[in-house]
Amino acid sequence: MERVPILKIGQILLVSIQIDLQDQTVQVLQEDLAERIVRTGARGVIIDITAVDIVDSFIGRMFSTIASMSRLMDAETVVVGMRPAVAITLVELGLSLGGVRTALDLEKGMRLLGASLPSLADGR
């Protein structure tokens, strides 16, 4: 089974979804992410879905679950790079992704989390 990699940039964890998400993959991603947030003490999670062009209600709920979970561990979640077609689908499905912050692209997402890029930070 494929795993979604979790990258650490400064105090932010970056999850870039590049594959078709199966229910099993999502389950494992949530577990991995929770574990990484605790281990690294990350303050923010960015989920990059630029490469995702099909969503269903299950994936929509995943964003909310991850956001609530992260908030319990004091990390803010931002979903970035949502495509127009995906946004329209989610609205038609009646999912508003309550509690999830969104940004147009990775750069704006990082700015939203108030984080400077790692090269500018003190070498963490």
| Binding footprint of other proteins on the chain (CB under 8 A) | 78-80, 82-84, 86-88, 90-92, 96-97, 101-105, 108-109, 112
Instruction: Strand 76-80: give its sheet, edge to edge.
Output: 6-9, 12-16, 44-48, 76-80, 101-103
| CB neighbourhood size of 5 (10 A) | 12
C-alpha–C-alpha distance, residues 7 and 23, integer Å:
21
Q: How far is the CB of 53 from other proteins (least distance, A)?
A: 13
Q: Are 26 and 58 contacting, i.e. CB atoms less than 8 angstroms apart?
A: yes
With respect to other proteins, which residue has the nearer C-beta, 38 or 87? 87
Q: In the complex, what is the shortest distance from the CB of residue 39 to other proteins, in angstroms, rounded to a whole number?
A: 28
Give the residue with the Cβ less far from other proteins, 3 or 61: 61
CB nearer to other proteins: pick between 8 and 101: 101
Shortest CB 102 distance to other proteins, Å: 4
* DSSP secondary structure letter of residue 3: -
